[in-house]
Amino acid sequence: MSPMILAWLVHLYTASGAVLAFFALLLIDQSRFQPAFWLMTLAVVIDASDGTFARRARVKELIPWFDGDRLEDIIDYLNYVVVPCFFLLRADLLPPNDALWLAALPLLASAYGFCQKEAKTADHFFLGFPSYWNIVGFYLFLLQMPRRVNAFVILILSVLVFVPVKYLYPSRSPVLRGTTVGLGCLWGVAILALIYQLPHPSAILIYASLAYPAYYAALSLWLWRRRR
């Protein structure tokens, strides 16, 4: 296969995330949450792998006039912000009288976060809460906490987008990368199992799976404080 064709196929692979976001929105609008979660998971897999493919295909060298990083940001905003915010509304996870503005809050906060020049820092961290709204929405759906608690979580995390704390970029972490990626893979398996078990997931598995987000947050804060 021609290297140029291969490079364009990598960009097409990245762009397919937009199609997944579109179909996820349609499924969420129909309250078909389990298949929507499968599509959201597939979007994460594409996002986690397209960078490796791009480097191997030398896309920046072969197609220097096409900005793959901008394409990735567009896809990420759709899948990690727009789709989860719509899900928060359709899954009825927010207080009814405040649902619209609460669901819009991450849209505004993450628009700022994505446009920072150092949203991804030179030393391989995310600056500010890295818009993991798909994970937030998934756990709020699983835990079925009171809507006011969900609203508080959304408010706090939206504010944290603006707080210049550095969060791990798992696949490029300068510290404990192997451990972080390994635990992340186990966590991913747990997430797949939870989606498969819907609408009645195991409570034990839900709480056990929260160990990885706790590890991620604790390690990020520890590294940030140590570097300061």
pLDDT in tens, 90-107: 999 999 999 999 999 999
Between CA 32 and CA 37 the distance in angstroms is 9
Distance CA 17, CA 181 (A): 22
> Which range is least confidently modeled, 20-24, 28-32, 121-125?
121-125
Total number of domains constituting the chain: 1
Range of the domain at 146: 3-227
Q: Roughly how many angstroms between the first and final C-alpha of the chain, as a whole number?
A: 48
Mean predicted confidence (pLDDT) in 132-148: 97
Q: Tokens for 190?
A: 């747990």
> What's 201's domain CATH number?
1.20.120
Confidence (pLDDT) at 1: 65
pLDDT value of residue 128? 93
Q: Which residue has the tokens 């706090």?
A: 156
Distance of CA 43 to the CA centre of its chain: 9
Model confidence at 228: pLDDT above 80: no
The yes-or-no verdict on residue 58 having pLDDT over 70 is yes
Phi, psi of 211 (to 5 degrees): -60, -35
The C-alpha angle 171, 184, 85, rounded to 5 degrees, equals 90
